[in-house]
């Protein structure tokens, strides 16, 4: 369902006059807006009165609205029974309407009449025996998201003393770059995050390395060992924690018990481990040991926050980068930040040389990302200490926005979108296939046999046009 259509239908016939007057009061709209469909609809998605309306909600209502943002789709009335209990929830004798009418009454009073929810009926199977309430769908506009307070209670701690975990798992993971085989052990057999260098590209799980990929791999291994009965596939714990903890600012920390309202809301119909306080303490401690969470102490109380790159704060590029010649540098994997490694890998050809990770600036790769990274401290250091980087950057700037004639490349027109996507995905990690506007791709001639093979396998035929071959 399209939110714009939902809003129009809600304003046209979903809301009663009492509803509209209540929304105008809650959102500080002029009273006459309740009598004008156009004015009311136009004002609804504006910022007017949203902060005031949201400020009247309780903690679990904040969490529920954030959960809707996390899901990125509309929900039915049963979704709200997480915080507004349905009548006779364990009874099979009640009709859907009788069971969930009290839920809808709460939704209408606390969310709809405060002007922070959109609702409408689904059109599919509208003639079947489903009631209006069963067909009702609700949407929280993303435009209102910035007015929501954090779903987890936090404590401001400035200049915290970081307690390091007993083992730096992410650093150990980076060492996999030097190995020709994955790490041994049960954990590595199940992981989907193999780190390797192929054709000068640093890959993780056959995709270009990013800090987000590395952190997601680690969070998944942390949460895979945490069992919650009847855990829904719609709410995978790794993505949930990454989303909700990611709302915290840099100096904000949380106590393990602050997670209880979040878990009680998301998994309202499941039996959380008892006692739930011990479960939260264990959850956070395991997250800290894996490096997914950072840990500090305020008096005798421990607080946590997302780990990210706080393990080695304050380091400068010169602490983990070493110039080897005018084009090549070495990387200290024990010190470099994960985001810094991502930035360097985007612009350089990486390889292992003499037991060290080294990088060499690549003209094509740098030309694709220089505008995005040229203000980063890591690139500034390379630009200052490697003459080859400085010359390459100057040449890219000189040629920027100019037409360049490339030699020794092939162009293919692919009318079938699915085939074009398949080829782009197959060669994404190599960077050797470049997608142009509409139906065209370009690639080096050496790649033609493999592209021809993929095309034939998909049931298509390659036709040549104006082919020119040189000796």
Give the model's pLDDT for residue 188: 46
- Containing H/E element for 197? strand 195-198
Q: Which two tokens stand for residue 3?
A: 């939110």
Phi and psi torsions of 73, nearest 5°: -155, 165
Give the model's pLDDT for residue 89: 60
Q: How far apart are the C-alpha atoms of 27 and 47, rounded to whole Å? A: 9
C-beta separation of 52 from 255 below 8 A: no
Residue of 262, 287, 260, 269 whose CA lies nearest to 232: 269
Beta bridge partners of 221: none
Give the model's pLDDT for residue 357: 94
pTM more than 0.85:
no
Question: pLDDT of 76-106, one tens digit each?
Answer: 999 999 999 887 666 667 888 899 999 999 9
In this predicted structure, the answer to whether residue 320 has a pLDDT above a threshold of 50 is: yes
In this predicted structure, the answer to whether residue 1 has a pLDDT above a threshold of 80 is: no
Q: How far apart are the first and last CA of the chain?
A: 59
Question: pLDDT of 409-433, one tens digit each?
Answer: 888 888 777 788 888 888 887 778 8
Q: Sorting pLDDT into bands at 50, 70 and 90, what band is 385? A: very high
Q: How far apart are the C-alpha atoms of 168 and 373, rounded to whole Å? A: 28
Question: pLDDT of 242-262, one tens digit each?
Answer: 889 988 888 899 999 999 999
Q: How far apart are the C-alpha atoms of 185 and 440, rounded to whole Å? A: 45
In this predicted structure, the answer to whether residue 309 has a pLDDT above a threshold of 60 is: no
| Cis peptide, bond prior to residue 275, ω within 30 of zero | yes
Angle in degrees, CA 280, 281, 286, rounded to 5: 100
In this predicted structure, the answer to whether residue 356 has a pLDDT above a threshold of 70 is: yes
In this predicted structure, the answer to whether residue 70 has a pLDDT above a threshold of 70 is: yes
Q: How far apart are the C-alpha atoms of 307 and 215, rounded to whole Å? A: 9
- Containing H/E element for 74? none
Give the model's pLDDT for residue 224: 81
218-229 residues labelled b (16+ CB within 10 A) or e (exposed): bbbbbbeebebe
In this predicted structure, the answer to whether residue 374 has a pLDDT above a threshold of 90 is: no
Q: How far apart are the C-alpha atoms of 172 and 170, rounded to whole Å? A: 5
Phi and psi torsions of 94, nearest 5°: -95, 145
C-beta separation of 136 from 77 below 8 A: yes
In this predicted structure, the answer to whether residue 339 has a pLDDT above a threshold of 80 is: yes
Q: How far apart are the C-alpha atoms of 348 and 366, rounded to whole Å? A: 7
How is 240-289 classified by DSSP, letter by letter?
Answer: HHHHHHTTS-TTEEB-GGGGHHHHHHHTTTS---SSHHHHHHHHHHHHHH
Residue of 426, 434, 316 whose CA lies nearest to 367: 434
More confident residue, 63 or 274: 63
Q: Sorting pLDDT into bands at 50, 70 and 90, what band is 189? A: very low
Give the model's pLDDT for residue 233: 63
Which 3 state secondary structure label does DSSP give 151?
coil
Provide, rounded to the nearest whole percent, the portion of the chain with pLDDT above 70: 89
- Containing H/E element for 385? helix 377-385
Q: How far apart are the C-alpha atoms of 50 and 29, rounded to whole Å? A: 11
Give CA torsion, residues 122, 124, 127, 128, to 10 deg: -100
In this predicted structure, the answer to whether residue 113 has a pLDDT above a threshold of 90 is: yes
User: Could you tell me how many residues make up the chain?
Assistant: 471
Q: Which of 181-190, 303-312, 357-366, 380-389 has the lowest mean pLDDT?
A: 181-190
Q: What is the CA radius of gyration of the chain?
A: 28
**CA neighbours within 13 Å on the CB side: how many for 318?**
3
């Amino acid at each position: 369902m399209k939110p714009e259509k939902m809003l129009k239908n809600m304003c046209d016939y979903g809301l009663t006059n009492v509803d509209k007057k209540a929304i105008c009061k809650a959102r500080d709209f002029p009273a006459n807006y309740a009598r004008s469909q156009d004015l009311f609809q136009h004002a609804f998605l504006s910022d007017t009165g949203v902060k005031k309306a949201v400020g009247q909600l309780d903690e679990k209502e904040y969490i529920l609205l954030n959960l809707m943002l996390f899901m990125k789709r509309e929900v039915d009335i049963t979704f709200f029974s997480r915080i507004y209990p349905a009548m006779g929830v364990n009874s099979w004798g009640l009709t859907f309407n009788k069971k969930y009418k009290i839920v809808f009454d709460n939704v209408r009073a606390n969310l709809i009449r405060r002007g922070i929810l959109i609702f409408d009926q689904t059109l599919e199977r509208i003639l079947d025996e489903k009631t209006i309430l069963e067909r009702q769908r609700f949407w929280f506009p993303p435009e209102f998201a910035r007015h929501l307070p954090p779903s987890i209670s936090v404590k401001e701690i400035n200049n915290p003393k970081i307690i390091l975990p007993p083992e730096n798992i992410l650093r150990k993971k980076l060492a996999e770059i030097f190995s020709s085989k994955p790490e041994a052990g049960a954990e590595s057999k199940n992981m989907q995050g193999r780190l390797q260098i192929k054709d000068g590209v640093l890959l993780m799980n056959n995709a270009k390395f990013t800090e987000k990929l590395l952190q997601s791999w680690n969070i998944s291994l942390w949460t895979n060992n945490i069992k919650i009965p009847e855990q829904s596939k719609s709410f995978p714990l790794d993505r949930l924690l990454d989303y909700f903890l990611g709302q915290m600012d840099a100096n904000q920390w949380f106590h393990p018990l602050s997670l209880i309202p979040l878990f009680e809301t998301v998994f309202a119909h499941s039996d959380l481990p008892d006692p739930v306080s011990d479960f939260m303490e264990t959850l956070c401690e395991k997250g800290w040991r894996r490096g997914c969470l950072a840990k500090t102490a305020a008096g005798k109380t421990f607080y946590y926050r997302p780990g990210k790159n706080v393990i080695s704060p304050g380091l400068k590029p010169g602490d983990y980068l070493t110039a080897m010649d005018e084009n090549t540098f070495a990387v200290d994997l024990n010190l470099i930040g994960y985001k810094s490694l991502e930035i360097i890998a985007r612009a350089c050809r990486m390889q292992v040389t003499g037991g060290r990770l080294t990088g060499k600036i690549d003209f094509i790769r740098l030309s694709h990302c220089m505008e995005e990274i040229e203000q980063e401290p890591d690139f500034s250091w390379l630009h200052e200490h490697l003459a080859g980087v400085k010359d390459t950057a100057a040449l890219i700037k000189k040629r920027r926005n100019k037409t360049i004639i490339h030699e020794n490349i092939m162009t293919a027109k692919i009318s079938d979108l699915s085939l074009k996507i398949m080829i782009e995905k197959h060669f994404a990690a190599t960077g050797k296939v470049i997608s142009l506007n509409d139906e065209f791709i370009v690639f080096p001639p050496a790649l033609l046999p493999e592209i021809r093979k993929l095309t034939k396998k998909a049931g298509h035929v390659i036709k040549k046009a104006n082919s020119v071959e040189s000796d």
